[in-house]
């Protein structure tokens, strides 16, 4: 994914949480995941060199990168 695709994607999502170098966006319009083509629930953007996530539920994850950022697309069961 390139930066323009990322910027377009994020502009369609609803900002949800921000904690340090981790930002979360809600997919309230059922955009398809670029990896599996199924709608995803949240996009988690990790911008730090090292980030830690505490998951409160079991999720399937699809992963890609843009520049040096890691993008996690979550799918709830």
Residue 39: the pLDDT is 97
The reported pTM is 0.91
The alpha carbons of the chain give a radius of gyration, in whole angstroms, of: 12
Report whether pLDDT(63) > 90.
yes
Number of domains in the chain: 1
Contact 44, 26 (CB under 8 A): no
Range of the domain at 67: 3-76
Q: What band does 1 get if pLDDT is binned at 50, 70 and 90?
A: confident
Report whether pLDDT(51) > 80.
yes
Of the CA atoms within 13 Å of residue 33, those in its CB half-sphere come to: 21
């Amino acid at each position: 994914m390139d930066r323009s695709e990322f910027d377009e994607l994020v502009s369609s999502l609803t900002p949800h949480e921000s904690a340090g170098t981790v930002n979360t966006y809600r997919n309230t319009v059922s955009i398809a995941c670029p990896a599996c083509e199924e709608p995803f629930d949240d996009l988690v953007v990790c911008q730090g060199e090292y980030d830690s996530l505490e998951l409160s539920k079991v999720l399937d994850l699809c992963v890609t990168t843009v520049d040096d950022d890691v993008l996690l697309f979550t799918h709830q069961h």
